[in-house]
Structure 1
Amino acid sequence: MPQRYIEKILRARVYDVARETPLDRANRLSARLDNHVFLKREDLQPVFSFKLRGAYNKMVNLPDTVKRQGVVAASAGNHAQGVALAAQELKIQALIVMPKTTPPIKVQSVKSFGAKIILAGDSYDTAYSHAQTIAQEKGLTFIHPFDDAEVIAGQGTIGMELMRQHPSPPEAVFVPVGGGGLIAGVGAYIKYVYPHVKIVGVEPEDAPSLYTALAANRRVKLKQVGIFADGVAVKQVGKETYRIAKQVVDEVILVNTDEICAAIKDIFDDTRTTAEPAGALSIAGLKRYVKREGLIGKNLIAINSGANINFDRLRHVAERAEFGERREALFAVQIPEQPGSFLRFCKLIGKRSITEFNYRYSDPNRAQIFVGIELSNGDEERQALFQRFIDKGYSIVDMTDNETAKLHIRYMVGGHAQGLEGEKLIRFEFPERPGALLYFLNNLGTDWNISLFHYRNHGAAYGRVLMGIQLSKADRNTLLRRLKKLNYPFWDETDNPAYKLFAGAS
């Protein structure tokens, strides 16, 4: 790693506004995993995120003439707050461009530091483009959230603190990855001091910007990214951050939404604080790594990068955490429609708790039930229970990892539709803002009948919808063209077994 980055990190000015956060031992998680797990508590920064470090280091090093002109940034949350607080401390005029989908609590937080705000577009990419245009037109300096040497150096001070706080070199350090600024800075410092310490990036399965780039040996722009871990929902890793990551990152681990929710719960159990999904990524990756490698007694550090989570997202997190811990199974089971069949079914379950039971009569001979069952021994117990049903002659489908079943079907009431023909099921996301649904329906047109619709608020910037549309075969290509024109992420779920068993045509 170039000497200049070590020098930049050592000289970085971050402690005018940032604090040296503690490295806390996660006692409960350590006992469960049979390793020594430590949390770097960047959630305890004044803006509840590490982003303040890089933003301030960049801005404090600007020439005075540039400072007088002012700065502009694009962000949906953490970087925006970092830039705003840094600007307040340095008495610099700051303009922040935020997507219209940004939750009001984050907008108000940025305003409280005195920054001016412009709401533009429904996504970070749109806000980013608008901010770049403003920078050029008004002569403002753009403060990049990750792809900048001074920003990287500011984030790198976390690595410097880690090596000072931990008495001996750890086995591995787990770092959340979005654009790559955090892992580039932390990795550059730690690899320089202790080359044998593993630097492990962690990304969501639906936002693998660095994972994909390293696999392809080049930066790749993803067509779409998942929005649950919004703090790392970046389509392309930075140019400079990728250059550094190639030299300092040992591997990138991908985790799913359920594992992230379980990690949020793990952090809460140990610290009684609530991490944001991006902040809990590192713990989710650490747990997967320990299981894969069979580690025992090792020192492992995870960076909790932030705690900016909307309160109304906690319901969704709590619901999914049990799946992430593999403590709940979801099954679709066919039982006879006759007296005593439910009792016989429950006897097979034994003393395990039933977490939910969904059923509606639709056939005089057979009943399809959607059942949640509490587990104490994870996947091994789930597979054994599944096999027990098979052995007793039940027709069963495992829904535990079926996203449509967990997001929509389990909450829908009504059962199979009678006399329904040509229904196509589409799952899609649209921005949570006034008029978004009307815009969607207007652009979809009135050429076909909407036969099913389910929406449930998850506290995120984007709504998740399941929709059934009656189509002739000739209309299907027309529908796909219109959906693509809308530019909303969508998935065809017509063949999803949860839909066929519980909500499809009779």
Structure 2
Amino acid sequence: MPSILEHAEANGTAADTNGHHRPETPVGRMALTDYSINPSPSSEDKRARVRQAVPEDLLLPNGFPDYLRMIASATSRVYEACNVTPLTPAVNLSNRLECNVLLKREDTQPVFSFKLRGAYNKMAHLDPAISWKGVVCCSAGNHAQGVAYSARKLKIPATIIMPEGTPSIKHMNVARLGGHVVLHGADFDAAKEECARREKQDGLINIPPFDDPYVIAGQGTIGNELFGQVNMSKVEAIFCCAGGGGLIAGIGLYVKRMAPHVKIIAVEAYDANALAQSFRKRQRVVLNEVGLFADGAAVKTLGEETFRICQEVVDDFVEVTTDEICAAIKDMYDDTRSGLEPAGALSIAGMKKYVSQHPSQDSNRTLIAVTSGANMNFDRFRFVAERAAVGEGKEVLLAVTIPERPGAFARLVDTIMPYAVTEFNYRYADQDVANVMIGLSLTAPAAQRSEELQMLLQRIRSEEMTVTDLSGDELAKSHLRYLVGGRSAVANEKLYMFSFPERPGALERFLKILRPRFTISLFHYRNYGGDIAKILAGISCPDEDSGDLSQFLRDVDYPFEECTNSEVFKTFLRT
């Protein structure tokens, strides 16, 4: 396929595809994801391998499965457990991207993931003469839930092997669905070995997560549904997360046979890009490390059969950053009031990036994003909310160095106005210069935000201040923004915590009242989206000026609490 290989060669390494800033999301070797496991060695004869899984009458003359017939056959069984998921217009996204965006809502399945289709189709076609013994799988995610749900529906015993460190919410949910959960081993390699042992010892049937013709055909029923939901002659492209390849292979097989003009676009996280790297090297590769943010699609390698199919049906691929995934989760919420898991939002993130890289004057172009899953722990939304604005380019994080002298703080405030301040961190540390970390909301349309940012940076520099854009700095975003400052020996320092309504102009009013009458030794503010904002301010005030400080506290007209005598303040912020 020249188009995708040319694309791969043109794009070089994964680091080149992540936009202006190169992110540095940590990756780890030990994972509790579905597929971050050592793959089985490739078989010498691919045809022989698939022949073992598919009856002779479902094979093509070339020895490979007739997937169109298998998908048609799957429709007679899959809907015993699965829903025909809606194809939902994304009004807000459509307006912003100036095209027709449709969302294929696989997150609305009974287990909130497309995985149920493949698992059920595989298990529904098992020979009852051997399936009565039960099935087994190794998974800590959506595949486990799909197998457990299918087993209950088909009245087949199911054993789910999970690593011992699997979060309780996951193994408890699988148990609730009817699966017998076995926690074994410190990581997925150990769990996989236990799965293989039980398969052999107890005569159980292993249900693979993606590299199986029946699993692929089950996922392919999504493609069949699309033809009954939209005029496919008007569809330009379908975006799917890549993962192990089962979803995109199944959809691609059906769509390419019925509507070959429709592009099939694979989307991966930049640090879990097995498909992209395999296409670049024209062979399956095994990643040494896999990023875990989009854990539902975190694979070390594609399946053997799924890679073969992807080479035939995938037209292009897009790699996205963690922040771009967070922005896509927010986009989904804004349009549907539904929350996706990171892997489930990959398709939206990739579609947005693809549109920006391939602009079109045709406002009627139709793009479909398959929202593949919504199984995410609630506490992860905290991280998503923190990073979504940065991923969208709406928020920038800046480090500004100003002279440590009266009036400099006030001049900085004047310079950044009227931008809405989302974050403000400062602590006195040096008698000559002050380092301030500021978050600001940009106002220009997405296409002009880069130019707007450069103009803002130039404006700050024109005031003889040094400024650095930290929006792409993982250390700053994940850690330093919470650790600005430390213990200081500021003379006559008093600490106050202020509360004020979180509404436009409230912070600016506070800053204008505050400056330039007092020396500010500490300042911390972060917009968390609540109705009440909290500001922590350190003020250096000699005893003879205490009357002026008392007057200021009355003038500010916001509730406050003095924290000067707090043990926490004395321990961490005072020398």
Give your verdict on TM over 0.5: yes
Partner of 2:85: 21
Partner of 2:374: 307
Shift of 1:379: 2.5
Equivalent residues, number:
418
Matched, 1:393 2:464: yes
Match of 1:352 in 2: 419
User: How big is the alpha-carbon RMSD for the aligned residues of Structure 1 and Structure 2?
Assistant: 1.6
Q: 2-side partners of 1:319 and 1:6: how far apart? A: 44
In the alignment, structure 1 residue 187 sits paired with structure 2 residue 252: yes
Match for residue 117 of structure 2? 53
The reply on whether 1:8 has 2:70 as its aligned counterpart is yes
Give the aligned partner of residue 154 of structure 2: 90
Matched residue type, 2:242 = V
Map of 2:103 onto structure 1:
39
Secondary structure of the residue aligned to 1:359 is strand
Asked if the contact 2:327–2:391 (Cα under 8 Å) also holds between the matched residues in 1, the reply is yes
Q: TM-score, normalised by structure 2?
A: 0.71
Unaligned runs of 5+ in 2: 1-59, 490-575
Moved over 4 A (4+): 415-418
Three-state SS of the structure 2 residue aligned to 1:195 is coil
How far has the Cα of 1:417 moved from its partner? Answer: 11
SS of 1:171's equivalent in the other structure is strand
Structure possessing the higher radius of gyration over alpha carbons: 2
Per mean C-alpha deviation after superposition, the further-off stretch among 37-46 and 163-172 is 163-172
Are 2:383 and 1:316 equivalent residues in the alignment?
A: yes
Match of 2:191 among 127, 132, 151: 127
- 1:411 maps to 482
Q: CA deviation at 1:177?
A: 1.3
**1:3 Cα offset (Å):** 6.7
Structure 1 position 416, deviation (Å): 9.0
Q: 1:99 Cα deviation (Å)?
A: 2.4
Give the alignment's TM-score, normalised by structure 1: 0.80
1:184-223 alignment runs, 5 A limit: 184-223=249-288
Output one character per residue of 1:136-194: Cα deviation in whole Å (capped at 9) or x when no partner.
Answer: 22221110000111000000000111122112331000001111100000001000111
2:127 is matched with 63
Identity of aligned residues (%): 52
CA distance 1:346–1:126, change in 2 (3 Å): farther
> Counterpart of 2:434?
367
Q: Which residue of 2 aligns with 1:143?
A: 207
Secondary structure at the aligned position of 1:301 is classed as strand
Give the CA deviation at 1:122.
Answer: 4.3
Moved more, 183-192 or 408-417: 408-417
Return the alpha-carbon distance in structure 2 between the equivalents of residues 339 and 121 of structure 1. Answer: 60
**Partners in 1 of 2:98 and 2:127 — Cα distance?**
51
1:77–1:102 CA contact under 8 A, matched in 2: no
For residues 368 and 239 of structure 1, the distance between their equivalents in structure 2, rounded to whole angstroms, comes to: 53
Q: Are the equivalent residues in 1 in contact too, given 2:284–2:301 (CA < 8 A)?
A: yes
Give the SS at the match of 2:130: helix
CA distance in 1, matches of 2:238, 2:420: 37
Give 2:314's aligned residue. 249
- One-letter code aligned to 2:156: I
Contact 2:135–2:205 (8 Å) recurs in 1: yes
Distance 1:158 1:319, change over 3 A: same
| Matched-pair contact (CA < 8 Å) for 1:275–1:307 | yes
Contact 2:93–2:335 (Cα < 8 Å) also in 1? yes
- Structure 2: how far apart are the matches of 1:260 and 1:123? 26
Give the letter aligned to residue 469 of structure 2: D
- Report the residue type matching 1:388 in the other structure: R
Give, in angstroms, the shift of residue 415 of structure 1: 4.3
Q: Distance in 2 between matches of 1:65 and 1:118?
A: 25
Q: Distance in 2 between matches of 1:39 and 1:151?
A: 22
Extract unaligned runs of 5+ from structure 1: 419-506
Q: Matched residues in 2 for 1:32 and 1:120: separation?
A: 47
Report deviation, 1:124: 3.5
Deviation at 1:386, TM superposition (A): 1.6
C-alpha separation in 1, matches of 2:293 and 2:488: 32
User: Could you say if the C-alpha distance between residues 242 and 45 of structure 1 is closer, same or farther in structure 2, counting changes exceeding 3 Å?
Assistant: same
Displacement of 1:350 after TM fit? 1.7
1-side partners of 2:168 and 2:354: how far apart? 37
